[in-house]
Amino acid sequence: MKGVSLARSPVKFYRLGLLAVFVLGSLLLLWAARVVLLPFIFAIVLAYLLAPLVELFVKHRIHRVPAILLAYALVSLFITAMIVYMVPLWIQETVKMIHLIPALTKQLQWTWNYWLMRFHQAPIPSSVRQAIDEAGVRWENKLFTLSKQLVTAIFGVLPGILSVIISPILAFYLLKDMNRIRARFWQVVPVDWQPSVYVLALDIDRALNGFIRGQLLVALFVGILSGLWVQILGIPLSLLIGAIAGFTDVIPYVGPIAGAIPAVVLGLEQSPLKALYAILGFVAIHQLEGTVIGPKVMGDSVGLHPLVVIFAILAGGEIGGVAGLLLAVPAAAVIKVILGHLYRRLII
C-alpha cells in the first residue's frame, strides 16, 4: 500500500500543478477581459436574486422556462409600477432641484463670503492667517477636483445601461441551464474534493445571500426613514432625497455621507439649525441601521473587519469604478470564505 501511495503521489502533485496553472490562467484571462465582464456580473447577480423564486415555481410543478418567464413578469410588473407611480414624482422633484441649484449656489456663496470677511477682520497673526488661507485654497482645489470626478463618474455610468439591458438575457440562460451548469461543475470537481467544495459553496451562498438580499432590504429601510425624516423637517424633495439615500446606502461608509449631502444642503438654505437637524437625523438612522436593522436582516454573514471593507471599497473603486464600489464588499466576503477553507484544509 505504501508503494501505491508513493507511486500515486507524483500524479497527485501533477494534477494539483495543472489545476493551479488552469486557475491562474483563467484569472489572467478574466483580468484581460474585465471591460466586457460587467453585463455577465449583472447577469449573475440577477440570476442569484431570482433563483429562489424560480425554484419555488418549479417545486409547484411549473416547467423551468415558464417559471423563469413568470418570475421575469412579476419583476417587470413591479418595475413598471415603480416607473408609473414613482418615477414621475422623482422627475418632478429632480426638476425642482435643478431650479433650486442657482439659489443654493448663491446662498452658499454669500455664506462663504460672509465668513471669509469675518475671518479677515479677526485679529489673527499673519503666519496663522497665511497657513489657513493656503489650507483653504488646497481644500477648494480638492473640492473642484472631486466635483469633476463626480461628474465623470455619473457619465461613466451611462455605458453601464447597455449592460443592464443585456444582463436579463444572460440571466435567463443562466437560470434555464442552472441544473446543467451544476452537473458539469460537479463532473469537473474530483470526487474526494466534493464534500469540501459543497461546504465551501454553502458558505459562499450564505455570505452572498446575507449581503446582497440583506443589503437591498436595509437600503429600502434607510431610504424610507430618510425620506420620512426630511419630510418631518419640512425640507423639500423628500421623495428624491429618500431615493438617493437608499441607493447610495449600498456603498458602505461612503454611501451614507453621499446620501445625506442633498438633505443638508437643502436644509442649509432654510436655516443652519435645520441642516444640523438633518445631519443628526441621518446619523441616528445609520446608527439604527448599524445596530438594529442591519444585524437583524443580514446577521454576521459578511463578517469583514472595517479596515478590510474600506480597503475593498478603495480597491474596487480604483479597479472597476462605480461597479467596483458596489461589488467590492461581496467579492471580499467570497475571498474571505475561500481563504478560510483553504487555511483549514491545507494548514490546520
Per-residue pLDDT tens for 97-120?
676 667 667 766 677 666 667 666
- List per-block mean pLDDT (blocks of 10 residues) for the chain, which spans 348 residues: 49 68 76 72 84 89 91 89 74 71 69 67 65 68 62 55 77 89 82 82 79 79 90 85 84 76 81 87 85 64 70 76 73 83 69
Largest CA distance in the chain: 92
Instruction: Count the residues in the chain.
Output: 348
pLDDT of residue 1: 45
Terminal C-alpha separation, the chain: 26
Q: How would you classify residue 253: left for phi > 0, otherwise alpha for psi between -120 and 50, otherwise beta?
A: left
Per-residue pLDDT tens for 131-152?
666 776 676 666 666 666 555 6
Per-residue pLDDT tens for 227-273?
899 999 888 888 888 888 888 887 766 677 878 888 888 887 778 88
- Beta-strand ranges (E) seen in 210-328 are none
* Integer Rg of the chain from CA: 26
- Nearest-5° Cα angle at 245, 239 to 248: 135
pLDDT of residue 327: 77
Arithmetic mean of pLDDT over the chain: 76
Contact 147, 19 (CB under 8 A): no
**The C-alpha cell that represents 17 in the structure block:** 500543478
The DSSP letter of residue 291 is: I
pTM above 0.75, yes or no: no
